[in-house]
Structures are given as C-alpha cells and as structure tokens.
Structure 1
Amino acid sequence: MNPLPEQKQPDQTPREATQPSPAGSGSYLLSGTVLTDGRSLDNAVVAVTGGRIAYVGPRAGLDQSSLPGLEELDLPAGSTILPGLIDLHCHGGAGGDFPGGSGQAARAAVEFLHRSGTTTLLASLVTASRDNLLRGMETLRQLADEGLIAGIHSEGPFLSSARCGAQDPRFLREPDLPLLGELIGAAGGHLRTMTYAPELPGADAMVRLLAENGVTPSLGHTDADARTTAASLTAAAELLQAAGRGPASRPTVTHLFNGMPPLHHRSPGPVAACLRLAAAGSVAVELIADGVHLDPETVRMVFDLVGAENVVLVTDSMAATGLPDGHYELGPASVSVSGAVARLGDGTLAGGTATLLDVVRRTIGAGVEAAAAVLSATAVPAAIIGEQERVGSLRAGLRADVVVVDGNFERVLVMRAGRLLDKGEARR
C-alpha cells in the first residue's frame, strides 16, 4: 500500500486560539495504537483540547505542562485510535431518510451516524421529482449551514434507465442544465458531489457546469462503454483542475460494480476504465464493502489493483441502518429489510444497512490491511471534498474527530470536535 504523502500542518494563527471551544468539548488524553494517513503508530497518545487535536505521537514527546487539565480516558488494553470516519454516500439511518425531506428525521439520522463513528458525512439524495429534489436540497442545506453534515450528494436524476437500480425510473431524465442550476442554487453552495451517467445526451455540458460550481462529478448508474467512461472521467478531472479545486481534487465513481454492467473480457464496460484510471490516481472509486453489495474477494482485488489511496469506502446506508428488519422508505420507494439486506419489491438491492465502521471492519475481514481500510474511510474521502486540512487525519491542529475501537474493531468511543458522543466507561 502507498500511504498518502506527508501533508503540511495547518497554520496555527492567533485567530484560531481566540475562537470559543465547541460546546461540550473537553481536554482529553487517549493512548493506544494510532492508525492515520496509512500509517500505524504503536504506543502512542493523542491529546485533545479546545475541540482540536493538540498532539499525536509518543508519550515521551508530549509536554503536558503546556496542556494543563488533560483528562486521561481509560481505554481497554489493545485499543486502536482512528480519525473520525467520513462517508460520502449515505441516505440515512436510525429511521431517518435524507431524501424524505423531513428535517427532524434527517437530524435523527445524522445524530445516529455521528455516534456510530461517522463524524463527517455527505447526506445523499436519490432521483425524485423536481419539487422533491429542491425540497431535499433546502432541508439538507440547513444541516450543512449548522455544520452537522459536510454537504450534499445527489444520486441522480441524470442516470441511465437501463442501470437505475433502486432509483425511481419515473423521475430519471437526460441532463437538464436549467434544472441543475436550480438544484445547485437550492443547495446554497453545499452540493458537493453528483452521480451522473456519461452516455446521456448533454452529459459533457453537465459535467462542465458541475466543475465550474465546485461540485465533484461522480460517474455511476451507467450503461456506458469503456471508451465513453474514460473520456468523461478524464474530462471531469481536467475541468476540476481548471476550476482551481486543487491537486487533491478528482472525480469519483459511485459504488463501483453496482449500477453498471459487469466486467466482461469482450465487453469491458465502465468497470475496466474505472479501474485503470483509479490505478493511475486520476479518479477514486467508491466501494460498498458491506458483504452484501460486493464479495470480499472483489473488495480485496480492488485494493490490490488500485491502492487504498484511490478507494473510498462508503455505506449507501438508508433509514434501516441501526434498526431491526422491517419496512422502510428510500425517497419515494418502499424498501423491505430482511436479514439486514434492503431490497425493493422486485428484489433489487436498495441501499445498505451497515455503518461505515461496519464496512471498515468487513474490509479488514476481506484481507485488506487495517491501515489501508482506515485510510479509505478517512483521509481519502476528506481530500475528495477538500476537507483534508480540517478532518480525516489525526494531526495537530485538525478538528478533534476520534474513533476508538477494540481488538475486533468494535466501537469503544467516539469524539466529534472534542465532544464525547459515545464514551461508554472510558473515563478515569
């Protein structure tokens, strides 16, 4: 695995020092093995104060006199400390459905996801009517304005009817620039990614408009051939750079393998092009590594082929996440969950029910190194949305988003902006 290159430490200015600490944040010291930026640090400590990370490294290197009042948390032996996880593709949880347009339900979903270890997320919409899409954008815009979510992901409506998956085919449409402009405006600057099918008429102009407005194009739900796929992703990468999004910015692929034709040796389709471009580092591919959407051998193969730095682990979670089997909603669609697998009435998979920590654990179970799996759920997605100097790593100056797991990668503790969300008995 090739870890991400060393990144410059954020500049610590007097202005930051005078800002008030987040409500409920404290000063804490955590000790254990640290996994961050593709590296493992044994016998390390993490110091948190004022809602930010103050120190990461060997205990001997920490000058506690400069950080008075640190409360050492009593973590189980063998604990591992991770950055807060980042999910770029999730539709809800704990009964809350982001596409449903209910602010109260969306807040409940966000609270659950934060406590589960996903401290940063994009709230995902699905294909729906114009009015419902605009209402969804406006609802989620409020959560983004409050800092509860990092932005919005729109999965559609400019998708292939042949590969619509759980997207409602009644509302699929060819790229419509006036409608796209309305959606971007309704999101108030918080639309961060949009899934699109590159073979549709007008897709090239749509990708250009997305890039010009700071939205990352994410190819998916497509029936395109390999050439069309490669051309669109290459153009999207060039447009993002021309728009001044920075060297870390690049297009993504929405849940690789799902919502597209399978790889065939005489008809390689989009999968071949996506893998080739990901291996070259020009795109990042999403994987729903929940044990349902992808076989574990497929997950391991992709990590081996393209490297963890070019993979984004996602959940595609829906309202049933964190709840028992039963009947739920995904936007306008009714979904039945049995054995933790969500399906439409015709048997089509309809999102996931795993948390991102579950996905990381199952990725490790597939044979991927723990540091690699964590990288693909933290620093890689942070860079995709331009948040790498705020979240995604355990480095001095970044927001204190921390997840502690035990030897089985089960959750022990979650911290967001220095505030303990799910601390169990981890205190002295």
Structure 2
Amino acid sequence: MNTLHGNILTPSGWQHGALHFGNWIDRIEASAADPADNTDDYLLPGFIDLHVHGGGGRDVMEGGDALDTISRTHARHGTTSILATTMTAPKQEIELALQGVKRAITQRISGGARVLGVHLEGPYINPGKLGAQPNFARDGVLNEIVGFGELAPLKVLTLAPEIKGHMELISDLVARGIRVQLGHTLGSYEDGVEAMQYGATSFTHLFNAMSGLHHREPGMVGAALAHAEFAELIPDLLHVHPGAIKAALRAIPKLYCVTDSTAAAGMPDGNYMLGRHTVTKCMGGVRLPDGTLAGSTLTLDEALRNLVSLGLAVDDAARRLSTYPAEMLGVDDRGVLKPEAQADLVVIDRNLRLKAVYVEGELVPA
C-alpha cells in the first residue's frame, strides 16, 4: 500500500491529508482545506487524453508496437489514459493501426498510459475541411465501421454531419456505444444542432477545421457554443487564441482539453510522420510544408500550466484534463480521486511542475 500526502482534489473539492492506494484507491484520510493555507503538493487525478496521434517519434498509424512508445511518452507527462487516434486513410491502413491498438489494449505496457480504445478521426469527414488529414475522406458506411470495431474498441468517432447519410449514421453509432464528435466539417449551425439531436456528444478540436462563428451564420462553432455540454479543445495557445478559449470556457460547461499530439511530442525539432504526411516540428508547433498546423507537440502537464496562465484555478483546469473527458467517455473509475477508483494520479508542485505519476498504482519512471 502506498501513501501520499498533500492537497487532494476530490469530487467534493480540495481536501488536505493522506491518500492510500494500491492498484486502486483504498481510502482518503483528509479534511476540507484551502491549498492557499499550506505549501504542500497538489494530488490530482491522472490526465485523460482522448485525442492522441503519437509521441516519442512514433505514430499510431504505424501499427505494431508504436503505442508502447506513445503511451510511455505521454505517461511521463501525467497522462494516465489515452485514446489512440487514427488518421483519414485507406481502409487497409486504418486496419493496420487498429491491430496495433488492440495489442496495446490487451496488455498495458509497464510505465505506459492505459489505452482505453480508439478515436477514429475520419475518414468520414468533409474533403473541404481536411486540415492536416490526408485526402482520403469518404462517406460513412455502418458495416465498415462495425468491422473496424471488431479489430479494436471504437470509443469516439469524428464525422462531418452535413455529408449525406451521416445524420442517420450518428444514431446507429450512438446505439452501439460510440461517442460521436462533430469535426472536419463545413456544416452549418443548423447541421450541428440537428446532429446533437441525433445523439452527437462533442466537437473535435473546437474552432479548428470547422465552419466558424459569424453573427448571421453561426456555423458549427456557434452550434457548439450555444448548445454543447462537451467539446474538446487544444490549449497549446497556437491552435486557438486565448480569447476564443475564454469564450468557450464561459459557454461550454464541460469543455475538456486534448493534445492532438503527433510523433513530434516529446522530441526535438525535426521531421516526423503523421499518417502519410511528413510534418515539421519547429518553434513549438508542428506544420505541413504549406504552413498548416498539423496536430501538436503539446503534453497535458503543459496544458495544465497554460490553462492556469489564462486565469483558471488549478482545480478547474485539472478537471478539464481528467474528470470531464472521463465523463464524456462514460467512464466512472478514472478521472477522479475517490475510493475504489483506479489509482491514476499525478503529483504537482506549487509551481505546477510534475513530480510523480502513477498509472493504476504503478510509479512511472521519470
């Protein structure tokens, strides 16, 4: 049994005391307290990243053992659970990636984040809003998606709702337990509202690769700001202006953060693969040769610091990296520090620097 002391972020707020855990949290011996009254570390729920393409020089689309490196890279930065995220690609390439994901799910590698399943980002997107996705967009077919799900569990699927047949497809996917996100879309405000009525849950990298907000044409962004409970956002301060982040925080109750990280995360400047694309990491960003942002180099410990720099309290920022993504996914044993939850937790000092990470009770090597 392990014991950590500090300011513990529980579902009911901050408590100061001791947290006892093995693979699971056993008990918390603490009382309500304000961290401002002491100088002890923060004990936060492990971060959950629902949009991870790569890290440590490896890409999900490689298949094979790529996720070993990816999961270890992100675990060193406080991420204890991930969704392996695919790119828009021919069917055979997606299947190769999913076979690698299944291998990683079957056995969590020591020192790595838990791979909870797959975020299928495309290929059912609008070819007019590819962003950094390769040009293999196509209409969604339920049988094909079911086949993908037989290779590895699909937890989240991004699609463009305005494509013919996709509204009805949303209902079919939701009935199978897949969370549908709207993204890489030229859809209108009305398309977004209708898609939510069909069961869409969230929005993929809010503001990026979707129709923007105009006061007479609110677009997909307007649908999210007006109606969404959940949406993911990349808080690297490159993809979205701080002012837009603040607007989304006021409008969307459970806005949560993702990295959309590429193979370049945790690596020096240079060229890396993102699906079929070669991307360049330089000056903290990742871009295609034409300058288009192509995922990020963000890690979620940096995301925490970025959110606090924008004025969020530490507890609010932390929930957007753990509790809210868990709720969006329908997971209740992660993303929170409470008895009988997985012992996924991070220890952060008062300068918001990572001191220790535990995945299911295992201390991750620094």
In the TM superposition, residue 59 of structure 1 has moved relative to its aligned partner by 7.1
Per the alignment, residue 244 of structure 1 pairs with none
The 4+ residue runs of structure 1 with deviation greater than 3 A are none
Per the alignment, residue 165 of structure 2 pairs with 202
Map residues 261-300 of structure 1 onto 2, 5 A cutoff.
261-278=211-228, 281=229, 284-300=230-246
CA displacement, residues 194-253 of structure 1 (integer Å, 9 cap, x when unaligned): 00000001102321221122111111010000001110112115xxxxxxxxxxxxx111
SS at match of 1:126: coil
Equivalent residue letter for 1:178: N
CA displacement, residues 37-62 of structure 1 (integer Å, 9 cap, x when unaligned): 37222x3221113x1111224279xx
| 1:300–1:368 Cα contact (<8 Å) kept | no
Structure 2 residue aligned with 1:229, among 192, 202, 220?
A: 192
Structure 2 spans left out of the alignment, 5+ residues? 33-37, 109-113
- TM-score w.r.t. structure 2 length? 0.93
Per the alignment, residue 28 of structure 2 pairs with 56
In the TM superposition, residue 316 of structure 1 has moved relative to its aligned partner by 0.3
| 1:100–1:332 Cα contact (<8 Å) kept | no
Equivalent residue letter for 1:408: N
CA displacement, residues 171-212 of structure 1 (integer Å, 9 cap, x when unaligned): 11112233222212222xx11000000000110232122112
Equivalent residue letter for 1:120: S
Equivalent residue letter for 1:234: Q
In the TM superposition, residue 379 of structure 1 has moved relative to its aligned partner by 1.2
Aligned: 1:351 with 2:291 = no
Per the alignment, residue 150 of structure 2 pairs with 185
Equivalent residue letter for 1:78: D
Equivalent residue letter for 1:417: E
| 2:11–2:338 Cα contact (<8 Å) kept | no
Equivalent residue letter for 2:133: Q
SS at match of 1:301: helix
Per the alignment, residue 78 of structure 1 pairs with 40
Equivalent residue letter for 2:280: S
SS at match of 1:193: strand
Structure 1 residue aligned with 2:314, among 364, 370, 374?
A: 370
Partners in 2 of 1:212 and 1:130 — Cα distance? 23
Partners in 2 of 1:304 and 1:209 — Cα distance? 32
Structure 1 residue aligned with 2:20, among 47, 69, 81?
A: 47
| 2:235–2:307 Cα contact (<8 Å) kept | yes
| 2:231–2:252 Cα contact (<8 Å) kept | no
Query: For residues 59 and 48 of structure 1, do their structure 2 counterparts lie closer, same or farther at Cα, with a shift above 3 Å needed?
Result: farther
Per the alignment, residue 144 of structure 1 pairs with 105
Query: For residues 266 and 95 of structure 1, do their structure 2 counterparts lie closer, same or farther at Cα, with a shift above 3 Å needed?
Result: same
SS at match of 2:207: coil
In the TM superposition, residue 337 of structure 1 has moved relative to its aligned partner by 0.9
Q: Which is greater in Rg?
A: 1
Per the alignment, residue 280 of structure 2 pairs with 336
Per the alignment, residue 243 of structure 1 pairs with none
In the TM superposition, residue 298 of structure 1 has moved relative to its aligned partner by 1.8
Partners in 1 of 2:317 and 2:55 — Cα distance? 22
Structure 2 residue aligned with 1:317, among 236, 258, 261?
A: 261
| 1:159–1:196 Cα contact (<8 Å) kept | yes
RMSD of Structure 2 on Structure 1 (CA):
1.7
Aligned: 1:255 with 2:205 = yes
| 2:65–2:100 Cα contact (<8 Å) kept | no
Per the alignment, residue 165 of structure 1 pairs with 131
Map residues 24-43 of structure 1 onto 2, 5 A cutoff.
27-37=1-11, 39-41=13-15, 43=16
- TM-score w.r.t. structure 1 length? 0.80
CA displacement, residues 270-308 of structure 1 (integer Å, 9 cap, x when unaligned): 111111112xx3xx110101111112222222112223x
In the TM superposition, residue 111 of structure 1 has moved relative to its aligned partner by 1.3
Moved more, 157-166 or 209-218: 209-218
Equivalent residue letter for 2:167: D
Moved more, 76-85 or 224-233: 76-85
SS at match of 2:155: strand
> Equivalent pairs: percent with the same residue?
33
| 1:34–1:82 Cα contact (<8 Å) kept | yes
Structure 1 spans left out of the alignment, 5+ residues? 1-26, 61-75, 238-250, 424-428
SS at match of 2:199: helix
Partners in 1 of 2:96 and 2:125 — Cα distance? 20
Partners in 2 of 1:129 and 1:45 — Cα distance? 51
Equivalent residue letter for 2:252: V
| 1:303–1:368 Cα contact (<8 Å) kept | no
